[in-house]
Amino acid sequence: MHTRTLGQDLEVSAIGLGCMGMSQSYGPNPGDRDDMIGVLRGAVDRGITFFDTAEVYGPYVNEELVGEALASVRDQVVFATKFGWRIENSKSVGLDSRPEQIKHVADASLRRLRTDTIDLFYQHRVDPDVPIEDVAGTVGELVQAGKVRHFGLSEAGAATIRRAHAVHPVTAVQSEYSLWTRDPEPEVLPTLAELGIGFVPFSPLGKGFLTGTVDTTTAFTAGDIRTTIPRFKQDNLAANQTLVDHVATLAHTKNATPGQVALAWLLAQHPSIVPIPGTRRIARVEENAAATQLALSADERTGLDALAALVGVHGDRYNEMHMSLVDK
């Protein structure tokens, strides 16, 4: 596994691990906590050093899981976690990025992660009620106090990124990005390149669709977030199938998997892009990590881009409520 550098010289593995699914959003949670600890530790053994979590995942239990699993190798890994929600009775009930809340979350996350410093502290969603300058300034105070190393934003628009960066340097922006989610390309990615900020795509495999394992016959279990996403309705899945079929065909010619092709495409977009695919299985960790060894030619990348543009994407990537939380 080679490394990549996000903004402000934060070095991480070229592929990270999104840990959310170990605690929520993809159907019944794993019954054996030790299995998930084994996946996390196994990821380190396979060269993964970048682990993404958040207080709201669970809530709280995902940070606790990551902290417990990786305590013995803390000096080898980079922890990214997030603030920005008001949580009551173990449920998120709205956004909250007030300075006092940010500081409270930082202290609580440090305890759960069993660490003295949060490597990368993201605002999980932009809070329209709190000026981004206040958010950046507060994280800057946490950096000065030694509690946080780097500041990040999630699902932030270009104008917000510029305002935040002017107050305290932004190291990374996280948003959904993949062959079938191209929203960051017109404005966000050029802004990041200009400012020297890294980009961390979540759902780089299209929440499983780009692996070729999801189609119109797939029955999602209760509690699976994909049951709420328009893009995963049967008619939209059928319309989107052409893209994943092409990815699968290209993968076959390269003795690779569709998921590896999708990740290789992302890695080829810019050297400061670091995808964080999530999984609960060590076999998938190995498969995803191997994508760093897969080279796509310029013609292959152009072909993927052309087909994606031709086919388009049917259905929004979030339901209406979640789309309303995406900064423009």
CATH for 107? 3.20.20.100
Question: Is it the case that residue 70 has pLDDT exceeding 70?
Answer: yes
pLDDT surpasses 80 at 9: yes
8 in any annotated domain: yes
> What's the half-sphere exposure (Cβ side, CA atoms, 13 Å) at 228?
13
Give the pLDDT confidence score for residue 77 in this predicted structure. Answer: 98
Which of the residue ranges 4-18, 119-133, 301-315 would you say has the lowest mean pLDDT? 301-315
Instruction: Give this prediction's pTM.
Output: 0.97
Domain-located, residue 16: yes
- What percent of the chain is modeled with pLDDT above 70? 99
Take residue 294 and report the two structure tokens written for it: 């897969």
Mean pLDDT of 138-145: 98
* C-alpha span between 92 and 107 (Å, rounded): 18
Residue 246 maps to a domain: no
Whether 258 is in a domain gets the answer no
Residue 305 placed within a domain: no
Position 32 confidence tier, pLDDT thresholds 50, 70, 90: confident
Among the ranges given (200-204, 286-290, 306-310), the one the predictor scored with the smallest mean pLDDT: 306-310
Of the listed ranges 24-33, 91-100, 127-136, 282-291, the least confidently predicted one is: 24-33
- Confidence tier at 258 by pLDDT (50, 70, 90): very high
The domain in which residue 104 lies consists of: 3-206+269-294
* Cβ burial 216-231 (10 Å sphere, 16+ → b, else e): eeeebeeebbbeebeb
H-helix or E-strand spanning residue 94: strand 91-95
In a domain, 128, yes or no: yes
Domain assignment of residue 236, yes or no: no
Number of domains in the chain: 1
pLDDT tier at 159, thresholds 50, 70, 90 = very high
Most confident of the following: 32-36, 49-53, 213-217: 49-53
Q: What value does the mean pLDDT of the chain take?
A: 96
pLDDT at residue number 31: 63
Q: Is 26's pLDDT higher than 90?
A: no
Return the minimum-mean-pLDDT range out of 25-34, 73-82, 150-159, 265-274: 25-34
Helix (H) or strand (E) holding 227: none
Which residues are tagged catalytic?
57
Position 128 scores a pLDDT of 98
Is residue 231 domain-resident? no
The model's pLDDT over 218-239, given as tens digits with 9 standing for 90+, comes to 999 888 999 999 999 999 999 9
Amino acid making up residue 102: I
On the question of pLDDT at 152 being above 80, the answer is yes
pLDDT above 90: residue 131: yes
- Evaluate whether 137 touches 101 at the Cβ level (below 8 Å): no
pLDDT for res 143: 98
